[in-house]
Chains A and B, each alone.
Chain A
């Protein structure tokens, strides 16, 4: 069974009198545990597709089933609930809240969970998630005290903490240098391999896409190609030595 089952997805934006056809009928299945890259030039409709897959937006027509649940006709609040439960987001610009410590950032999704999670459990789960991304020693740092790579790790921990069905990563390495990018991709691969999390990347960098096992090209609102990657690149194993945090202190980035 597919985690994501999309049929004839159409999205039309109205800008004044002009209709913009962002998606013209996209059908797509993604199985559990897949690691997929959605690629395409800007204006191709890949961002629109990602917004709909992320339950941030709704299609004009067509259906979208997430784990068998039709989410294409839900209310705003119902969509928010689905996002909180089943989807983790990782953004290009990290989107962390200013002035909050790493642990608090990661606790945020638990704050909005339907069943209230007690404060102690929240803290514990947030710490576990940060340990998984190798930031055990940066629990109480604020975004301004962290490097770009570390900030993105906090964002990944935030995406993980609710044990989502899928993680949507929108140009997750766009603001990072190539070495840190490789480290982040290695982390994604590890999470995918060890925990079987379905990860969908939206990117226009072929360098990033080659770490995945399937590449979907979008052009003019339609799927142009959908091919498996026969030999996915593996991030430098040295960076993955053990599960200990290998990156901290080795990042050459200046904290922003």
Chain B
């Protein structure tokens, strides 16, 4: 018997029991739908994070302090008080590292910002004018921190879109630029508002305020090295050309080791690619995790198929006996029932794929409370490989869970099967 004959027989058998077939398929439909929907969320998160990292700028290197070991206790990365503003200046010097285009050091802290009766706690980033260029992030209104502001340690602040919204949102006509806000009981003049970047998986980029790095170093964090350098949390370096990335990493490494007088690195240099790889690893794991959870329901659906196929084999014992009496071999009976279970599963898989894509669209369109206003809900992307995977797995599930019932049918003794009532 050919497989196409088997498909014909199976379709008739399935059509004869429509409700049962539909309910059996439902298990697979839900399983495949869940796999597609959840994997689309994972893939969506991955795509979004990738875009954000790429959107930070081009050819970037991120230098952060390394970890320190003190009294046998190793602290976390970025804790060592090693990286200074003076390091940033040295890196920016073309005679040290000629391939560097721009350098933006950062000091990060947190503070309460108050405007009239409203106030908010936010992240304060002290930086230099290059920040705007390096991070590819412009002011929407007003101006950015200038060289003069840095030199004069001016009490000026550029607000993130979120902070501006929180403090001045009640009056849409009034511009925050030119207003005075109080931070740590000191008056700061608002000189600009950054354009909104939107929420991302790892916090909201718009929930921050920028100040001249010198202002933060004198007013907020007075941490110094033993040699009197001003400590920074991170130095972002833009390399002139993509081809010079590796060379630049090496040169900066040499320079910093020399400046810090260490043999072993007390700092970490990561490129944008490194960040991307790490993020992809995390989101990849997330996707697999979500997919596996959904996969469990697919297995449950498969068990449902096996259950119904066992019932079906018992019900059709006499039919099997008749088929064997007129010359059907074991293989013929095996194919008949395997095709039937695979067909249920594959049909369910197709419906499930459609359902999963629909659910994924719904998730992408939905606004979820708690996520910042102005941003869409969870991102979700249905990739062809997820669809192929779901389809393949559903076919495999039907085949696998059909093997036992089908082999039971094939092994039936024709005499007993014919006598079965």
Does B123 belong to the interface (CB within 8 Å)? no
Q: Mark B310-339, 1 if CB is under 8 A from A, else 0.
A: 000000001101111111111110000000
Residue of B nearest to A91 (CB): B418
Does B147 belong to the interface (CB within 8 Å)? no
Interface centre among A54, A77, A112 (most CB of B within 10 A): A112
Does B414 belong to the interface (CB within 8 Å)? yes
Does B415 belong to the interface (CB within 8 Å)? yes
Are the CB atoms of B318 and A80 closer together than 8 Å? Answer: no
| Distance in Å: Cβ of B11 to nearest Cβ of chain A | 12
Does A214 belong to the interface (CB within 8 Å)? no
Q: Mark B324-360, 1 if CB is under 8 A from A, else 0.
A: 1111111110000000000000000000000000000
| Distance in Å: Cβ of A242 to nearest Cβ of chain B | 30
Q: Contacts of B12 on A, CB cut-off 8 Å?
A: 99
Q: Contacts of A112 on B, CB cut-off 8 Å?
A: 1, 323, 326-329, 332
Q: Contacts of B16 on A, CB cut-off 8 Å?
A: 99
Contact of B326 among A57, A89, A98 (CB under 8 A): A89
Does A97 belong to the interface (CB within 8 Å)? yes
Does B258 belong to the interface (CB within 8 Å)? no
Are the CB atoms of A80 and B1 closer together than 8 Å? Answer: no
Does B243 belong to the interface (CB within 8 Å)? no
Are the CB atoms of A56 and B325 closer together than 8 Å? Answer: yes
A57 with B415: in contact, given A108-B323, A112-B323 (CB under 8 Å)? yes
| Distance in Å: Cβ of B6 to nearest Cβ of chain A | 10
A97 with B1: in contact, given A77-B330, A85-B327 (CB under 8 Å)? no
Does A132 belong to the interface (CB within 8 Å)? no
| Distance in Å: Cβ of B416 to nearest Cβ of chain A | 10
Query: For the complex, what is the distance from the CA of A162 to the CA of B322, rounded to whole Å?
Result: 15
Count B interface residues, CB 8 Å. 22
Does A234 belong to the interface (CB within 8 Å)? no
Does B5 belong to the interface (CB within 8 Å)? yes
Query: For the complex, what is the distance from the CA of A90 to the CA of B170, rounded to whole Å?
Result: 91
Does A113 belong to the interface (CB within 8 Å)? yes
Q: Contacts of B332 on A, CB cut-off 8 Å?
A: 112
Contact of A80 among B319, B327, B418 (CB under 8 A): B327
Within 8 A of A (CB), among B375-414: 414
Does B2 belong to the interface (CB within 8 Å)? yes
Interface centre among B2, B5, B16, B327 (most CB of A within 10 A): B327
Does A178 belong to the interface (CB within 8 Å)? no
Does A83 belong to the interface (CB within 8 Å)? yes
Does A158 belong to the interface (CB within 8 Å)? yes
Interface centre among A56, A77, A89 (most CB of B within 10 A): A56
21 A–B contacts, CB within 8 A, in A order: A56-B414, A56-B415, A76-B329, A77-B329, A77-B331, A80-B327, A80-B329, A81-B329, A83-B324, A84-B328, A89-B325, A89-B326, A95-B318, A97-B322, A98-B319, A108-B322, A108-B323, A112-B323, A112-B329, A113-B327, A116-B2
17 other A-B residue contacts (CB within 8 Å) besides A83-B324, A89-B326, A162-B327: A51-B415, A56-B415, A57-B415, A76-B329, A77-B329, A77-B330, A80-B324, A80-B328, A80-B329, A81-B327, A84-B328, A85-B327, A95-B321, A97-B319, A111-B5, A112-B1, A116-B2
